[in-house]
Structure 1
Amino acid sequence: NPGCEKDGCLALASVLLTVQLLWGGPGMGPEDSAAERALPHLTGSFSQLAAAFPGKRKRLPGLERPPCRLRVAWILTPKIDPMTSVLSAPRFRYYQNVCTQSYSYVWWDWPRWEREIDWMALNGINLALAFTGQEAVWQRVYLSLGLNQSEIDEYVTGPAFLAWNRMGNLHTWAGPLPLSWNLKQLYLQYRILERMRSLGMIPVLPAFAGHVPRGVLRAFPRINVTRLGSWSNFDCAYSCAYLLDPGDPMFQVIGTLFLKELIREFGTDHIYSADTFNEMSPLSSDPAYLSGVSAAVLRSMTAADPDALWLMQGWLFQNQPDFWQPAQVRALLRGVPSGRMIVLDLFAESKPVYQRTESFYGQPFIWCMLHNFGGNHGLFGMMESINRGPFDARRFPNSTLVGTGLAPEGIEQNDMVYELMSELGWHQEPLDLQQWVANYAERRYGTRNEEAASAWQLLLRSVYNCSGPCVNHNHSPLVRRPSLRMATELWYNKSDVYEAWRLLLGAAAELGASPTFRYDLVDVTRQAVQQLVSEYYLEIKQAFESRSLLELLTAGGVLLYDLLPELDSLLASDPHFLLGRWLEQARATATSDKEAELYDLNARNQVTLWGPNGNILDYANKQLGGLVLDYYRVRWSLFVSALVESLNTGTPFHQEQFNQAVFQLERGFIYNGKRYPSQPAGNTLEIARKIFLKYYPHAMRRGRAGAA
């Protein structure tokens, strides 16, 4: 391609891509992934193509895709100049977070993975994690080192918690991992890698970070290991990882053996991921120790692959800033030669690390948008920060920026934010957000509707306009264990959401046949109801504090017997908001009834207690049909009953006693075995309209009373 520069073509370099668009013909590009991403960009202003998270959009005006695989010719409407140029500035366009493997991908089959990889290609992703199937390789390695199967089983977690087992945070919990899981995931990884590579992507494989099972101590009694501290309210029964000393010869033996076996199994594209100190303090702040750790990690890679490049999450630097002072950060990063590591500035839209580390002290980095924690539902975005951030990083003195990335912990939410971030990789300066959102609304629904366009502008200036601390982001009282001390402040004017809700309902006559529109209507109605739950919580709290039993019963009754059941019905009307779908996917992965029960427990625990005792309670909360009614509503019912009893008997309300009682209900939900519908039921438009007619007047009165 004459547009390629000396560093290579579009998948790997910052080059000028020329895409020839022919009526009835293909989009031509040097690398499939880049060419596929260029098509949505080029057609975005004309043919109005958009590529959302898989499974939502049904109509793509201006582009007709034949019913076959992604590498076939595209048929374009003749709305674009015959020759158009697009500059792709960053070398890498990265995707995924280590945690996404558990919060979103854990139960996926091949058809779902294939849709995701196609979405990645359409959005220009050329660098992505490929962690599936590694447990089978680790099993092989540890057995060859003399561990027995029971020692491996003791170490590995259940499927829904493997992300934290891989980073050394967690062991044992919700396991053991069935051998059938390893085999199925191994074969799934073959297909994932083949698909990624066929589309010009670089799959990032896992590498050894230094954590080992307890069984290694028995097999090698003289091995030099130390035990890290506990993690996130787990005790040492499930955390406190054993970390090999970087100077121990077994560090390289284990790390190199694993990577050689991994490469033999899957091949390699020479980029590997490892995180030694994810949310865990190192044993020493001595720079010599820290540089020794990073040197040992890379050495174990290069012994297996001389061309190895280390991709490391930079989350640790912003997560524990008191420990990671300049000397410590510099030591860890400079323990490897410059250019042999790429750092993911994981939360750069909110807490960029490159600014306080002199651009990671010379190591290349990727500016990432994290955006989502735990796969929570909730309308949210830092659109202005996202729009400016990558360009500020590019202009930073002596910048070592080599790419941009999407790094959410959970996906399938807030499509607009991800589409913006994906598109920015093809621009040289920030976009006009108001104009971009207007175009987005038209692309999303395949036609221009003034009410829908106005609704999205209101959402842009409110929920998607967080520019400071995003107060109570995804921590609505709706999805938290009730107490009298819950915060309800927000960073935006709630009335904007209520008005957007009204406008979308007004657009339903024209757009209601679109599944994407109905999804958005559910999501905005859900956000409005989430705000209303906070309002009724405040009424409950105020009634209790003023000792008004009637007002307490009134507000509590509306919440328990109307608002939450209505929300559950609304969510149950859309396939993307079903608890039953999540649980069915988990059970479908099993090869026996025993495995199905284990996977069901994993799936339920992750979205509720997150641990045996609510260790990371509600961190991965979801607003799903079935979960609202049988989990969140049950907790609220007990809370209101406890407050009523307190007023009736004149005894104080004790939060700790309530916590103990509600824990039994929470735990009971995980083990109740109830099966939930995996297919939607009910008419989304009718349910949303019914909720609106009942609650909109109340919502607007309260919304105007208190803006952000």
Structure 2
Amino acid sequence: MVPPSGEKAYQIAGDVFVEMWERVTRRRPALIRSPAEEDDLPAGDVVLIGSDAVHPIAHALIRRGALETLGLVYGTDGYRILCVPDQGRRYLIVAGGSGRSTLYAVYDFFRRQAGVEYFWDGDVIPRRDTIEWDGIDVIENPRFRYRGLRYFAHRGLHRFQAEHWDLEDWKREIDWLVKKRFNLFMLRTGIDDLFQRAFPDDVPYPPTDAQDPDARDRSYDDRTSFWPLKYRGELRKRVLQYARDRGLLHPEDTGTITHWYSHTPSSFYRSFPDFPVITDQTRGYKLHTAAIWDVEHERAWDAYWRLTETHIREFGCPRIFHTIGMAERRFGKTRRDNFQKKLYVYRKTQQILREHYPDAPLLIASWDLAHQWEDEEVHQLLNEFDPERTILLDYTADDADKVSYRDWHVLGRFPWIFGIFHGFARNSDIHEDYALLAGRLEEAKKDPMCRGLVLWSEISHSDTFMLEYLAENSWQPRGLKASFAVKRFCRTRYPGDLAARMEPLWSKFLITSQTAHWSMRGTQRVVLSEPQFHMLTSPWLTFTPRRVEEILAERDKIRSGLKPAPEVLAGLTTLAETHFENPLWRRDAIDMARTIANRALLATLMDAVDQMEAWRQNQAGPWKIRRLAQLNRQLLEALCDLLALSDDFSMAASLRRL
């Protein structure tokens, strides 16, 4: 029984409850809108969707003393699932402090009472004759206010890159976000037709049957859309509306938003030939259409705000804002020139935002701070932000060689979100040092100023284990150790007998996978730069003495991590005989095996570096190098055969889906 009023999410929660009940029991319960009076209730047990703030029957139960309170903090993500026997019938109250958290409660009810589990690549739904709820009483509240993911603008295989997802793909993804109790996501997939909507008389749509006129061949600066740009704009609108109906937050980009994935169309400059663009940039993107407009001119700021307000009007909802500043660029002749210009941009961005939305939270993306700022410069910047309305989105908090939130004096002093960057668009295998991550998250969970836990990667769906770890610990960080996460992952993703056999394999496999962890500056960069797949272009294959030393240090770590790999592969091979048709297991097994192959390929390449240096110094013969080359080719062929088992790795399959 859904309430007669309230957010649309309450009606959706009722629809979901009915759908899930039917999927479990094969019986469909009746869905009705709540009457104003109890006298009009149908006979039998009743499920009440929503709290007493929206549901008159829940309010009546409290009013007459059937219960005192739901114990909710209204307007938040907490929820209660409660069985209330009263006057000869049972009421099941499934209620959140908001419509969004009422949806959380519905999905959690079926997880607890029916054994349902939710994954990005499908739900696990046991069949039952009935679902018991007698005596249930659950109260849940999140530790972190903000929990979610970013979807990035790179293009590639359908599984990994959200640029290629159509509406049905996005509906599944957004439903999964809600099932996992996330509340924040960001489309960093370009700006679609924002310029055409903001400047309709001056910026035409590009041709639908040819390359974008501003594209640069075979580069990330080719933003030609497979679908017509106008359709992409409508798709964006429908995706964000679908998410908004379920209560999800999507940050509105503001400030100097022009970047490589948010180009200024050249037609804009033809319409405004004297439009001011920054001319003192010394490092970063050189393409004219990717330029930042001249921040010394009010005309530029007026146009930037016009883009933001157009996105709000056409696509968005101004509940939370985001700025990346002037990321990945440098300006002026001196470090002071660059620093002062970037400070000014943050000041101006805030000033304009506060004119229009005085109290909305503003997320400050950390990417440029981590790349190009000194710690002392970040200290000065943070001193200029109002901590009541500003949050540092530190999505480089998992950098192996820098603890940014400590170095920037954020702990206990300034609101921040712990962001796991995890990897670039190319890093599609399973990785992350969970001992390092768990230690840092222990600090974050104890800091009352830490407001969120997010994954801000450049790739989606690459690491199912990480996604489950994130979902569980962004709600309540109680399972930070990898051993705990493995037990939970296997128990929820596989049937009982398979779970018991996969748990030791996962535990051993993580010894291999954890030899790779993201770092912006440290030697671990060599692993995630994947030189084994860039033999002609990788800078790591320029063998200076220092670089050789770094490569061999990482080589020793990878070789040690590969010791359990034969046992893991043998175990997966045995299980494949009986479980290959299980799609969740098959995807995990291929991901585990290809991760091992990636590390082994890299290890042979690193061994070759060692042997080549020895050969150059007349300390080794050529036969070892030839043997390593043969082994490398065999590993690459085996990896190709492995990837051919799944359309996840087929560009042809991705293109057919488009």
Q: TM-score, normalised by structure 1?
A: 0.67
Residue 82 of structure 2 is matched in structure 1 by 20
Match of 2:164 in 1: 107
Which deviates more, 265-274 or 103-112? 265-274
Residues 144 and 476 in structure 2, CA contact (< 8 A), matched pair in contact too: no
Q: Partners in 1 of 2:270 and 2:139 — Cα distance?
A: 59
Q: 1:474: which partner in 2? A: 528
Query: Could you give the per-residue CA deviations for residues 584-635 of structure 1, whole angstroms, max 9, x where no partner exists?
Result: 45xx3xxxxxxxxxxxxxxxxxxxxxxxxxxxxxxxxxxxxxxxxxxxxxxx
**Partner Cα distance (1:523, 1:402) in 2:** 32
Aligned with 1:113: secondary structure? helix
Residue 24 of structure 1 and its aligned partner are, at CA, apart by 12
Instruction: Show the counterpart of 1:193.
Output: 240
Alpha carbons of 1:513 and 1:27: their partners in 2 closer, same or farther (altered >3 Å)? farther
2:588 counterpart (516, 520, 526): 520
CA distance in 1, matches of 2:421, 2:609: 34
- 1:561-640 matches, within 5 Å, as 562-585=634-657, 588=658
State which of 485, 490, 507 in structure 2 corresponds to 1:457.
507
**Does residue 380 of structure 2 align to residue 324 of structure 1?**
no
State how 1:437-456 maps to structure 2 within 5 Å: 437-449=486-498, 450-456=500-506
Q: Secondary structure at the match of 1:409?
A: coil
C-alpha spacing 1:348/1:175, structure 2 compared with 1 (3 Å): closer
**Residue of structure 2 in register with 1:385 after alignment:** 436
Identify if the C-alpha distance between structure 1 residues 523 and 289 changes in structure 2 by more than 3 Å, giving closer, same or farther: closer
Report the alpha carbon displacement of residue 9 of structure 1 after superposing the two structures with TM.
2.7
- CA distance in structure 2 between the partners assigned to 1:400 and 1:76 by the alignment: 44
Q: Contact 1:471–1:490 at 8 Å: present in 2 too?
A: no
Q: Secondary structure at the match of 2:193?
A: helix
User: What letter is aligned with 2:574?
Assistant: G
Match of 2:250 among 203, 212, 219: 203
Alignment correspondent of 1:226:
279
Shift of 1:277: 2.1
The residue that corresponds to 1:623 in the other structure is: none
Q: Which amino acid aligns with 2:600?
A: L
Q: 1:150-549 to 2 correspondence within 5 Å?
A: 161=220, 173-175=221-223, 181-209=228-256, 211=258, 216=269, 219=272, 221=274, 223=276, 225-231=278-284, 236-237=286-287, 241-245=291-295, 247-283=296-332, 285=336, 289-320=341-372, 323-326=373-376, 328-350=377-399, 351-359=402-410, 363-396=414-447, 399-427=448-476, 429-431=478-480, 433-449=482-498, 450-464=500-514, 470=524, 472-481=526-535, 483=541, 485=543, 487=551, 488-491=555-558, 493-534=561-602, 536-537=604-605, 545=615
Alpha-carbon offset, residue 183 of structure 1? 0.5
Kept in 2: contact 1:314–1:343 (CA 8 A): yes
Q: Partner letter of residue 86 of structure 1? A: E
1:224 and 1:372 mapped to 2: Cα distance? 32
With over 3 angstroms needed to count, the CA separation of the structure-2 counterparts of 1:223 and 1:512, relative to structure 1, is: closer
Change beyond 3 A, Cα 1:554–1:290 = closer
In structure 2, what residue type is equivalent to 1:29? G
Q: Deviations over 1:537-569 (max 9, x none)?
A: 467667763785666555544543x44333212
Which residue matches 2:27? none
Offset at 1:34?
3.4
- Secondary structure at the residue paired with 1:359? coil
Question: Alignment partner of 2:513: what SS?
Answer: coil
* AA aligned opposite 1:50: E
CA apart distance, 1:345: 0.8
CA distance in 1, matches of 2:610, 2:409: 50
Q: Is the 8 A contact 1:106 1:159 kept in 2?
A: no
The one-letter amino acid paired with 2:310 is E
- Larger CA deviation: 302-311 vs 437-446: 302-311
Aligned-pair distance for 1:354? 2.3
Say whether residues 1:92 and 2:131 are aligned partners: no
Q: Distance in 2 between matches of 1:147 and 1:90?
A: 42
Equivalent-residue separation in structure 2 for 1:510 and 1:498 (angstroms): 20
Partner secondary structure for residue 513 of structure 1 = coil
Tell me, in whole angstroms, the C-alpha distance in 2 between the residues paired with 1:159 and 1:83.
Answer: 57
Q: Deviations over 1:79-138 (max 9, x none)?
A: 996112222121111321555688711111111111111111111111111456733121
Contact 1:348–1:368 (Cα < 8 Å) also in 2: yes
Partner amino acid, structure 2, of 1:454 = P
Structure 2 runs not aligned, ≥5 long: 1-50, 52-68, 85-89, 259-263
**Contact 1:217–1:223 (Cα < 8 Å) also in 2:** no
Amino acid at match of 1:141: A
- The aligned counterpart of 2:56 is none
Partner residue, 2:124: 59
2: CA distance, partners of 1:352 / 1:308:
28
Q: Distance in 1 between matches of 2:275 and 2:627?
A: 68
- Report what 2:117 is aligned to: 50
Q: CA deviation at 1:243?
A: 3.5
Give the residue type in structure 1 aligned to 2:96: G
Question: Which amino acid is the alignment partner of residue 355 of structure 1?
Answer: R
Q: CA deviation at 1:410?
A: 0.4
Counterpart Cα distance in 1 of 2:107 and 2:433 = 23
Question: Is the Cα contact below 8 Å between 1:90 and 1:404 reproduced in 2?
Answer: yes
Identity, % of aligned pairs?
A: 16
1:163-189 CA deviation, whole Å, 9 max, x = no partner? xxxxxxxxxx325668x6320111111
Q: Given the superposition, is the C-alpha separation of residues 372 and 19 from structure 1 closer, same or farther in structure 2, using an over 3 Å criterion?
A: farther
Measured after TM superposition, the shift of residue 527 of structure 1 is 2.5
Q: What's the C-alpha RMSD, in Å, of the aligned pairs?
A: 4.0
What is the rounded CA distance, in whole Å, between the counterparts of 1:293 and 1:304 in structure 2? 17
**Paired residues, what number?**
545
Note if contact 1:156-1:177 (Cα within 8 Å) is conserved in structure 2.
Answer: no
What is the Cα deviation at residue 403 of structure 1? Answer: 1.5
Which has the larger displacement, 216-225 or 190-199?
216-225
Q: Which residue of 1 aligns with 2:59?
A: none
Say if 1:147 and 1:216, in contact at 8 Å, map to a contact too. no
Q: C-alpha distance in 1, partners of 2:225/2:293?
A: 22
Equivalent-residue separation in structure 2 for 1:222 and 1:197 (angstroms)? 35
**Gaps spanning 5+ residues in structure 1: where?**
65-74, 162-172, 589-708
Other structure's SS at 1:337 match: coil
**Cα distance in 1 between the residues matched to 2:403 and 2:104:** 26
Q: Secondary structure at the match of 1:358?
A: coil
Amino acid in structure 2 at the alignment position of 1:527 = T
Pair 182,24 (structure 1): closer, same or farther in 2 beyond 3 Å: farther
| 1:481/1:5 CA distance change after superposition, 3 Å | same
Query: Is the 2:280–2:331 contact (alpha carbons within 8 Å) kept by the matching residues of 1?
Result: no
TM-superposed deviation, 1:263: 2.3
Q: Which moved more, 1:538-547 or 1:78-87?
A: 538-547
Partners of 1:239 and 1:252 lie apart in 2 by 17
**Partner SS for 1:402:** strand
Q: Relative CO higher for 1 or 2, CA cutoff 8 Å, sep ≥ 6?
A: 1
Aligned counterparts of 1:48 and 1:464: Cα–Cα separation in 2: 30
Letter in 1 for 2:457: P
After TM superposition, give the deviation of residue 43 of structure 1 in Å: 7.1
Secondary structure at the counterpart of residue 96 of structure 1 = strand
Tell me how far apart the structure 2 counterparts of residues 392 and 498 of structure 1 sit (CA, whole Å): 36
Amino acid at match of 1:82: I
Q: Is the 8 A contact 1:345 1:352 kept in 2?
A: no
TM-score, with length taken from structure 2: 0.71
CA distance in 2, matches of 1:457, 1:81: 37
Letter of the 1:570 counterpart: L
